[in-house]
């Protein structure tokens, strides 16, 4: 493992907006919010939806479900977990991937969870796990779950892979996981502004670091395809984290592909899921045939 950069270098490494060549720091975040919100509005106008479906009692413990254009019979579901450094964004601008996928017979489910400072890391991980249990128990038409998380959402999706489902009485049939520009070791985050709202202790960070929670792939897990995607214009630390986590999963027997996407930054790497021709959209569209 490489030595950690000094604290002020860490601040920069873990500030994704500093690394985009397209737009300035504030502009790129505003553009991201606008793009995902507009994509979600289009999805809500075009798809059959069930919005704000509660999977628990908490204010944000809700799902937005975008059903396939022809939902007769069974269908795979792509469960999307939003980013925002565990402290902003919500499910309400997270349906932008639905139009191209719904037309191919895939449901898209956007997961809400309690963000910081109200939410703490243990609770967020638990909420995402519970949302999957709810989906499986509530919707018998779902055949195969595919997880997709961006940034902080990729961290939460990766934590799902380490779940001991015997505690939940249900084993979701997770066929694949797409982790996009994620953080898989929370230790460096402790030394940055990101932890001001999260207020994580070292114990909490270690307990919730996917890198430290990798379990040897059980037979069912070995069949789960994991795609670890990172942007050309992600910071060196984000790129390192993706590479090391992918390699560690593979060493534990998981089926892992590493995808280094050219000409995108930390933000448009996920925004482009609203485009039919985008490589990650095509991964999603292959789901029905892979079933």
Active-site annotation holder among 94, 150, 266, 274: 266
How are beta strands 62-67 and 107-111 bridged, if at all?
A: antiparallel
Q: How far is residue 211's CA from residue 251's CA, in Å, rounded to a whole number?
A: 12
How are beta strands 75-81 and 107-111 bridged, if at all?
A: parallel
Q: How far is residue 78's CA from residue 145's CA, in Å, rounded to a whole number?
A: 6
Active-site annotation holder among 20, 94, 131, 151: 151
Active-site annotation holder among 234, 235, 265, 268: 234
Contact 113, 124 (CB under 8 A): yes
Q: What are the DSSP E strand ranges found in the chain?
A: 48-54, 62-67, 75-81, 107-111, 142-150, 174-180, 225-233, 255-265
Catalytic residue flag (residue 234): yes
Catalytic residue flag (residue 181): no
Q: How far is residue 262's CA from residue 162's CA, in Å, rounded to a whole number?
A: 30
Catalytic residue flag (residue 166): no
What's the half-sphere exposure (Cβ side, CA atoms, 13 Å) at 106?
28
Q: Which residues are catalytically annotated?
A: 151, 234, 266
């Amino acid at each position: 493992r490489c030595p950690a950069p000094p604290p002020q270098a860490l601040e920069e490494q873990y500030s994704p907006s500093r690394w985009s060549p397209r737009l300035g720091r504030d502009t790129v975040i505003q553009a991201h919010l606008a793009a995902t919100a507009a994509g979600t509005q289009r999805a809500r106008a075009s798809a059959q939806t069930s919005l704000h479906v509660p999977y628990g009692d908490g204010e944000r413990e809700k799902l937005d479900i975008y059903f396939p254009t022809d939902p007769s019979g069974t269908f795979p579901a792509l469960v999307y977990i939003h980013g925002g450094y565990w402290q902003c964004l919500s499910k309400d601008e997270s349906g932008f991937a639905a139009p191209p996928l719904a037309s191919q017979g895939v449901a898209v489910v956007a997961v809400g969870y309690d963000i910081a400072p109200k939410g703490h890391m243990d609770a967020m991980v638990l909420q995402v796990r519970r949302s999957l249990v709810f989906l499986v128990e509530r919707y018998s038409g779902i055949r195969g779950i595919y997880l997709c998380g961006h940034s902080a959402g990729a961290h939460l999706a990766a934590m799902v892979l380490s779940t001991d489902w015997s505690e939940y009485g249900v084993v979701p049939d997770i066929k694949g996981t797409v982790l996009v520009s994620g953080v898989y070791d929370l230790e460096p985050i402790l030394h940055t502004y990101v932890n001001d709202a999260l207020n994580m202790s070292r114990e909490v960070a270690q307990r919730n670091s996917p890198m430290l929670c990798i379990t040897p792939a059980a037979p069912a897990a070995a069949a789960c395809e994991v795609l670890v995607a990172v942007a050309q214009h992600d910071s060196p630390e984000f790129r390192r984290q993706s590479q090391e986590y992918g390699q560690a999963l593979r060493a534990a027997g998981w089926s892992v592909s590493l995808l280094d996407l050219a000409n995108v930054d930390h933000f448009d790497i996920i925004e482009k899921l609203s485009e039919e021709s985008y490589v990650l959209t095509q991964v999603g569209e292959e789901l029905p045939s892979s079933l």
